[in-house]
A and B are shown apart, each in its own frame.
Chain A
Amino acid sequence: MKFKLSMLTLFMAFVVQFSFAQEKTITGTVSDSDGFPLPGVNIIVKGTTNGTQTDFDGNYSISAETGSVLVFSFVGYQTQEHTIASAATINVKLVAGEQLEEVVIVAFGEKTRDELTSAVSTVTSEELSKLSPSTSIDNMLQGIAPGVQVTGANGKPGQTAYVRVRGIGSINAGSAPLYIIDGVVAPDMSSVNPNDIESLSVLKDAATASLYGSRAANGVVVIKTKTGRKNRAAEITISSRFGYGQKIDDNFRMMNTAQKIQYERELAALGVTNAVQLPGATIQSDEEYQYLLSLDHDWQETLLRKSTVQSNALSITGGSEEISYFLSLGHDRNTGIVKDIDGFERLNARLNINYQAKEWLEIGTNVSVSRTTSDEPRDRNNVQNPFRAMYDYNPYEPKYEVDENGDIVLDANGDPKYNLTTNGFSISEALVNNPERENYTYIIAGLNAKAKIVDGLTNTFQIGATSTNYRREYYVKPGSVLDGYVGDANNPGSKTDNGSFDFDFTLTNLLSYNVLFGDKHDLTVTGLFEFNKDTFRTYSLSSIGFVSGDLSVQSIAAEPTGASTNLFENTLVSFGGFLDYNYDNRYIVTGSVRRDASSVFGINNQYGVFWSASAGWNITNESFMENNTLFNNLKLRASAGTSGNRSGLSSYGWQAQIGFGSLNGQTTAVPTDNGNPDLGFEKNFIWDLGLEFAMLNNRLRGVVDYYERTTSDLLLNVPLLRLGGEPDGSILSNVGEMKNTGIEIQLTGDIVKNNDWLVTLGGNIALVDNKVTKLNATEEFPNGAPITRDNGLTRIEVGEEINTFWMPMYAGVNPANGEPLYYDADGNVTNVYNADANVLMSGKSPLADFDGGVNLYVRYKGFDLATDFYYKFGHYVMNYMQSNMLSDGTGVDANQRVDAFNYWRQPGDTNVLPSPLYGNSAQQTSDRWLQKGDYIRLRNLTVGYNLPSEFTGQVGIKSLRIFVQGQNLWTWTKEFRGDPEVGIGSGETANSVFGTYNLYSYPQTQSISVGVDLKF
């Protein structure tokens, strides 16, 4: 509340200040040469910091004295100057020009689109503002950039996403891209406020990513935050959003009390032993039945709520002759959909300053601080998890115990007594009495100095540091139900405080020489030195014996039960040389070499050399294209190069170690790992062929890329004979190889473009094909022995897609007697389930064949509408939740889906579930639960209105936009029942391959919010 008040005060202060500043008001319209209005054109009074922008209609309004000069500038157009005379209206037509081209952020710098020779997907702040909002930028990229596949980890507020650039790049190491914010390696995407982002580039191929060497194999996401502009009056932006969210409705129905009682009764009558003791079988009278009916409730309603989503951001940007600045504050809050706990909250602040210290020296700093707080529901596969409990608890089981009159039973303290349900556990009670909370504090700071030493020679020095403090508290309050199960009766209550401190420090120096000779040869040579050190500390403390649920600090605990700290350090020392050559903006060639040495590489393998080469041909810049009217831009480009992935290497993994433990309270020293001095990073080689075009007066724009990506030296645990006594039975070695091949297409067309209307339809698709080409060879498997993953659900086999499902096959229900049938190892139908009759389901894996987005943008005068669809096809998901909800009688004590009634009842029944009499053999791991995950989702629907400047100008407001936004409003699935966006199956199994199965993790939510964006 305090925060909101101060924002308001600030707001008022500026309004007042602006109203005093009025002089003579000039108005007018800025349009392009065809007469279409240009929104967002910058207008400043020359020599002052007084400036404004045109609104959506191209209208502007500015106060200035007669005789002063207005400067009109806009990206892609030639700048114009107009002197103010007597006229109060100045209309301007800007002519398209080449001197202000779109700038793309790449490794260690920026390039124009013309200069670019590699596959880079970019997203600007303007585009970001049209996307589905999230506290974490990675979630927003879903369906936006082809070849950048984004899967939300789950729907928990503040959660980040799985981002995969051009397929999966590793088996045991990480496959996430490297994130760079303002030149600093970023710890976590929830540390950055999306409102602060000016531009984001995904470096997909080697030509630019290779410059980041041994960390770039999975692609690089480079983010530049907003900066102020020199000689500009302060501009204040306030963005505020408020809305509600809720769980997306299931595409199936759970039973209500009447149905569940009926189901229990049916199964008990059939002779299913699990059902015999259940209410449906034991009730004797209509009175008892009516009583149960009176208890009917929907556990989803009992446990969940509508979430409140709030986002407020304030930024101030501007600059004088020598300094430019960007200051922002942000507050985000999402209460989440679970009752009784708070969700996610983030406060963040950023200050970016650039200062022209000398004519030849520019210094700058980018500093951001953010703090997140998140209440964690227990994300695990049992009823301690509210999202499992809401499906498992029976509708006739009340939240609180009730007596025969329907009154709530009170405990000795006079509080309602929680009903422990048939599962022996009350999740409602646990949410209150077993709180778990996580805090992160991020400080990301970059300091840089850019000096022009002599003409053409520039030195850029940067120090980047990130500090990540993580803290988790988990309190099992004394007297809670869980404490009764796992606690110490003499010392009730238990508390764990654990966390980590990560400090990552990078020193970068770039010495760059640029020369233009013969008027057309533009050559830049750059030398890089980089040093990086990461220090990671952890701690964990726990105690038992607490006096009250209200006090949870461990200083009051009766007995400490555990304490542990640890420290990990690693370093990276790099040298690099980069070359950029540009002939007349027609032929562009780049090359790079980088040598990384790291403490995490084995002593026999302590450095790696990475290279890249690329070339681009701007066909439209050729003289023979001068008279072409079809293409505004046509470019061919090719690149190839290498990079590394060191994320699978632990700090000291290559070293043989004697570690310490204890036995009977005394120290033991034991070899914990024999290490591998040959251990190295995983290697990535990628080549790419791309075509970019803009045609029909820039109305149709597109990019097409084809690539082949080979990752080799993949880290695998090569098993060792027991004889050597290797503690973990295997040696981590660089052996595997995998190939990703793909095509990416992006097309955008302005279907209608005139004075009042703009209709733009865009779409992209990324097809990717993954194939494992080499694994650890053995006598039996000379090409490589298959690796079984995820408890035997999937396999990695040479010649197949990574993580291909591997399980016995279900052959349906025997219409004669309702028993489940399977295929045996030889492919014959049998009624005997054999867990060893696994079949590799070639082509069926959690990996999609293709995904992408379709977006439509419509603008009519001040109104705009933006929609984003995301689609993903060709992947499979093990639907464990369905197996529990259609449990064929084995889980009849828990609630079931309504279609569980559709079981075999009489000979001849087809298209039915197996008879519950065969529940145990029906509920076996098989492809019965393997479902196609294809889905389409309306990620975002936004309708907005920009107030015309004739109104806003009156009160000194530059622009005011109001909008209504809906998120995840519609979803289509082919056959999948449940939420098709499957990230982590369950928090407990987050280490497994994402998307393999669903297991009651926090579901995705949908929301509606209203917002205001205000600039003055």
Chain B
Amino acid sequence: MRKIFLKVIVFIGLVSLNSCTDELDQQPNNAFSPETYYQSITDFENATRGVYSGFYGGSYYGTSFLTLPDIMSDNVILAQQGRRSNQFYNEWRYEPNSGWDMMFSPYVVTNRANLIIDNIGNLSDGSEKNNFLGEARAARALAMFDMLRVYCDTPTQADANSLGMPVITSSDNPSIQIPRPPLSESYQFVIDELEAAKALINEDNGVGRLNKNAINALLSRVYLYAGQYDKVITSANAVTTPVASIANFPGIWTDSNNDGVIFKLDQDRVLDGIAIGVDWSQSVGGTVRPEYVMAFDFFNMYQSNDVRKNAYTFVGADSGGNIYNAIKKMLGEAGQNNGVVDAKVIRAAEVYLNKAEAYMMSNPPNEAAALQALDMVRSNRYSGFVSGNETGAALLDAIKLERRLELFAEGHRFFDLKRWGMAIERSTVYGEYFDGSGTPVPAEFATLPASSHKFNLPIPQREINIYPDFQQNPGYGN
């Protein structure tokens, strides 16, 4: 009896031992490993959407990338009653320890795109495969370009020592450490990738995904930064999307229509709820609590027949009864004031303005073509528009002014001033209230000279702590 018992125990022991050792292999129930995923078309669709969701990081299109370039320049003024968020960007007090981490999200996007590119061989050849590849390559190009705008010189202002940002083309090594390459190498990567993607990607993927129009549009922007004006014109001419009409224009900003929008990042107000407009104001009950409002001198540049004036601003009062020209762009969908709307990456109006500027910068300038491109935008913004028929310097100024008016709060102003080699000059006369009264910008924060190192944001100190060979931008304690 005892021996039988012993045998049973030994038997049970052996059986359980075997099955127990098998049990040591446990896989997550809410995730796949990178080796087993990326097999089907659906997998790649999900992964591609994952790339787009990466653009919605908080320091990127999720808020900062669309707001800080205006907060750091001359389009807005701090509302004293607000929460004063981002004030140290507004006053150019950022340092490596407290800077803008615009490396995180772009490299997350790059990694997501690289995983697609590394695994694309799992799909059979064809247009679907090419399309995924095109989207992924264009996405990492856009991510690189956006980083270059934040941290690096613009090629048109750069010298031989100008540094770019490291190009990462594989998902193999999460711990990768390489120093910054020359600026030209990074720009070449952006251009090469976009040009390659253009050959791969579909004509139309919908406005929420990259497609041929979007890549041409982005190329017109990249070439403008790179100073390759003929290619700006070629790329812009390849874009088929027309400029939004006056009638449709206000609806773009409440996501009622996509007129003139070439590429945006779709989101769901309830499920995603990414409040890209929260840096401008928070609304409580019937009042608004602004953080920044449109600078009064800039506000006055919008003429009364300009559809943008009421599409971009509204007169709102805070709980203390102070009245502002508060920012309406990115305030929310129709009837909402939570700041949740789709982030617009590029629109047709910008493409025309890129082209107009390129014509003027070409040698020799083509003023007629520049004016035509400019008027394509202006005629769709001013009711009863009559062309100013500007020429020469006045025409270039008009293009730059229109660019400022059109692209307000879309993440351009700071980079455009940097690209043009212009100083930032703020009014020290007007305050934040609707009539220009209130607290003006103090003199010490009114001007950022064109030569200031602050035009390139500091590389976050954490990167240098981890990898001391990673080069900091000049002027930041080195």
Residues of A within 8 A of B (CB): 358, 360-361, 451-454, 459, 461, 507, 509, 529, 531, 533, 566-571, 573, 597-600, 606, 651-652, 655-672, 674, 719-727, 729, 731, 778-780, 785
Using Cβ atoms and an 8 Å threshold, which residues of chain A touch B444? none
When the two chains form their complex, are residues B50 and A670 in contact, meaning their CB atoms are under 8 A apart?
A: yes
The answer to whether A566 touches B30, judged by C-beta atoms less than 8 angstroms apart, is yes
Residues of the B chain whose Cβ atoms lie less than 8 Å from the Cβ of A566? 29-30
Instruction: Please state if A664 and B13 are interface contacts (CB–CB under 8 Å).
Output: no
B86 located at the interface, meaning its Cβ lies under 8 Å from any Cβ of chain A in the complex? no
B443: interface (CB < 8 Å): no
> Given A669-B47, A725-B111, A569 and B9 touching (CB < 8 A)?
no
User: Do the beta carbons of A459 and B6 come within 8 Å of each other?
Assistant: yes
B305 at the interface (CB under 8 A from A): no
- In the complex, the chain B residue whose C-beta lies closest to that of A360 is B2
**Chain B residues within 8 Å of A360, by CB:** 2
Give complex CA distance A666, B53 in Å.
11
How distant is the Cα of A658 from the Cα of B118 in the complex, in angstroms?
14
Q: Which residue from B49, B54, B174, B462 sits with its C-beta under 8 Å from A731?
A: B174
Does A660 lie within 8 Å of B31, measured CB to CB? Answer: yes
* Nearest A residue to B23, CB-CB: A571
For B332-358 the 0/1 string (1 means CB < 8 A from A) is 000000000000000000000000000
Q: A509-B13, A529-B13, A573-B23 are in contact. Are A667 and B46 (CB under 8 A)?
A: yes
| Set B6, B112, B176: member contacting A453, Cβ < 8 A | B6
Segment at the A interface, from B14-22, B186-194, B427-435: B14-22
Please tell me which stretch of B197-205, B219-227, B267-275, B378-386 contacts chain A, meaning at least 4 of its Cβ atoms lie within 8 angstroms of it: B267-275
A656 to B174, CA, bound (A): 11
Contact A723 B168 (CB under 8 A): yes
B contact residues around A509 at 8 Å (CB): 9, 13
With contacts A571-B23, A664-B267, A725-B174 taken as known, whether A657 is within 8 angstroms of B111 at the C-beta atoms is no
Which residue on chain B has the smallest CB distance to residue A531? B20
Q: Chain A residues near B111 (CB, 8 Å)?
A: 671, 724-726
Instruction: Check A599/B176 contact, CB under 8 A, given A655-B33, A719-B462, A722-B103.
Output: no
Could you say which residues of chain A place their CB within 8 Å of the CB of B37?
658, 669
B183 → chain A closest CB, angstroms: 17
B463 pairs with A668, CB closer than 8 A: no
Which 4 pairs between the two chains have the least Cβ-Cβ distance? A725-B111, A670-B50, A669-B46, A657-B31
Complex-state Cα separation, A726 to B24, whole angstroms: 27
Judge whether B266 is part of the interface by a CB distance below 8 angstroms.
Answer: yes
Stretch at the interface among B66-74, B360-368, B409-417, B465-473: B465-473
In the assembled complex, B249 has its CB within 8 A of some CB on chain A = no
Within the complex, the shortest CB–CB distance from B152 to chain A, in Å, comes to: 15
Whether B25 contacts A599 by the Cβ 8 Å rule is yes
Find the residue from A452, A567, A655, A664 having the highest chain B CB count within 10 A. Answer: A664
**CB distance B168 to A567 under 8 Å?**
no
Whether the Cβ atoms of B24 and A597 lie closer than 8 Å is: yes
A724 vs B174: C-alpha distance in the bound complex, in angstroms? 4
Would you list which residues of chain B between 83 and 110 have a CB under 8 Å from chain A?
A: 101, 103-104, 107-110
The contact sample of 26 A-B pairs, CB cut-off 8 A, is A358-B1, A451-B2, A453-B5, A509-B13, A531-B20, A567-B30, A569-B29, A573-B24, A597-B21, A600-B26, A652-B26, A652-B28, A658-B34, A660-B31, A664-B266, A664-B272, A668-B50, A668-B52, A670-B112, A671-B111, A671-B115, A720-B466, A722-B101, A724-B111, A729-B104, A785-B465
* A contact residues around B2 at 8 Å (CB): 360, 451-454
Supplied contacts A657-B33, A723-B178, 8 more A-B pairs, CB within 8 Å: A571-B24, A663-B267, A668-B49, A669-B47, A671-B111, A674-B174, A721-B463, A779-B468
| Distance in Å: Cβ of B179 to nearest Cβ of chain A | 10
Contact of A670 with B54 in the complex, beta carbons under 8 Å: yes
Nearest chain B CB to A709 CB, angstrom units = 29
A606 neighbours in B (Cβ, 8 Å): 24
Residues in chain B near residue A461, CB distance under 8 A: 9
A725 & B110 in contact (Cβ 8 Å cutoff): yes
Q: How far is the CA of A652 from the CA of B27 in the complex (A)?
A: 7
Say if the beta carbon of B451 comes within 8 Å of chain A. Answer: no
Residues on A with beta carbons closer than 8 Å to the beta carbon of B32: 657-658, 669
The residues of A that contact B304 with a CB separation of less than 8 Å are: none
Q: Which residues of A contact B177 (CB under 8 A)?
A: 721, 723
- With contacts A659-B31, A664-B266, A672-B31 taken as known, whether A726 is within 8 angstroms of B46 at the C-beta atoms is no
Q: Report the separation of the CA atoms of residues A459 and B10 in the bound assembly, to the nearest whole angstrom.
A: 11
Tell whether, in the assembled complex, residue A668 and residue B53 are in contact, meaning their CB atoms are under 8 Å apart. Answer: yes
Identify which of residues 28-62 in chain B touch chain A, using a CB-to-CB cut-off of 8 Å. Answer: 28-34, 37-38, 43, 46-47, 49-50, 52-54, 56
**In the complex, per-residue mask of B302-345: 1 if CB is within 8 Å of any chain A CB, else 0:** 00000000000000000000000000000000000000000000
When A670-B53, A725-B107 are in contact, do A655 and B168 touch as well, CB less than 8 Å?
no
**Bound form: Cα–Cα A573–B24 in Å:** 8
**CA A964 – CA B21 in complex, angstroms?**
55
Contacting pair A663 B56 (CB below 8 A): yes
In the bound complex, CA of A668 to CA of B272 (Å): 12
- Point out the residue from B112, B171, B467 that lies within 8 Å of A721, measured CB to CB: B467
B166 contacts A by Cβ under 8 Å? yes
How far apart are the CA atoms of A778 and B462 in the complex, in Å?
11
| Residue among B49, B54, B174 with max Cβ neighbours from chain A (10 Å) | B174
Q: B208: CB under 8 A from chain A?
A: yes
Interface presence of B478 (CB below 8 A): no
B29 and A724 form a contact (CB under 8 A): no
Complex: how many Å from CA A365 to CA B32?
Answer: 41
Pick from B34, B56, B460: contact of A656, CB under 8 Å: B34
Min CB distance B36 to A, Å, is 8
Shortest CB-to-CB span from B170 to chain A, Å, is 10
Decide if B452 is an interface residue (CB 8 Å cutoff): no
CB contacts (< 8 Å) of A452 on chain B: these are 2
A639–B52 alpha-carbon span in the complex (Å)? 58
User: Which residue of the partner chain, among B23, B30, B107, B174, contacts A531 with CB atoms under 8 Å?
Assistant: B23
Q: A454-B2, A599-B23 are contacts. A725–B112 as well, Cβ < 8 Å?
A: yes
> Which B residues touch A453, using CB under 8 A?
2, 5-6
Chain A nearest CB from B336 CB (Å) reads 12
Minimal beta-carbon separation of B42 from chain A (angstroms): 8
| B175 at interface, CB cutoff 8 A | yes
- When distances are taken between beta carbons in the complex, the residues of chain B under 8 Å from A778 are 465-466
Is B5 touching A663 in the complex (CB atoms < 8 A)?
no
Which residues on B sit within 8 Å (CB–CB) of A573? 20-21, 23-24
- With CB as the reference atom, state the residue of chain B lying closest to A665: B268
B173 within 8 A of A: yes
A663/B266 contact (C-beta < 8 A), A719-B462, A725-B107, A727-B108 known? yes
A723 touches B107 (CB 8 A): yes
Bound complex: CA of A720 vs CA of B33, how far in Å?
20
Closest A residue by C-beta to B166: A723
Partner of A725, one of B5, B17, B52, B108: B108
Among candidates B20, B104, B166, B462, residue contacting A571 with C-beta atoms closer than 8 Å: B20
Give a binary string over B158-169; 1 marks a CB under 8 Å from any A CB, 0 the rest: 000000001010
Which residue of A531, A658, A719, A724 contacts B33 across the interface (Cβ within 8 Å)? Answer: A658
- A573 and B53 alpha carbons, distance in the complex (Å): 40
The listed residue (B5, B6, B26, B173) touching A569 by CB distance below 8 A is B26
Complexed CA–CA distance, A651 and B27 (Å): 9
Residue interface mask B252-286, A partner, CB < 8 A = 1: 00000000000000111001100000000000000
A141 to chain B, nearest CB (A): 34
Determine the distance from Cα of A688 to Cα of B225 in the docked complex, in whole angstroms. Answer: 69
User: Is A663 in contact with B272, judged by CB distance below 8 angstroms?
Assistant: yes
State whether B16 touches A507 (Cβ < 8 A): yes
Complex Cα distance, B166 from A669, in Å, reads 25
Minimum CB distance partner of A652 in chain B: B28
Contacts of A451 in B (CB 8 A): 2, 5-6, 9
Q: Which residue of A lies closest to B44 (CB)?
A: A669
Name the A residues within 8 Å of B23 (CB-CB): 531, 533, 571, 573, 599
* Contact call B13/A651, Cβ cutoff below 8 A: no
Please tell me if the beta carbons of B53 and A663 are within 8 angstroms of each other in the complex: yes
Q: Say whether B47 contacts A659, CB under 8 Å.
A: no
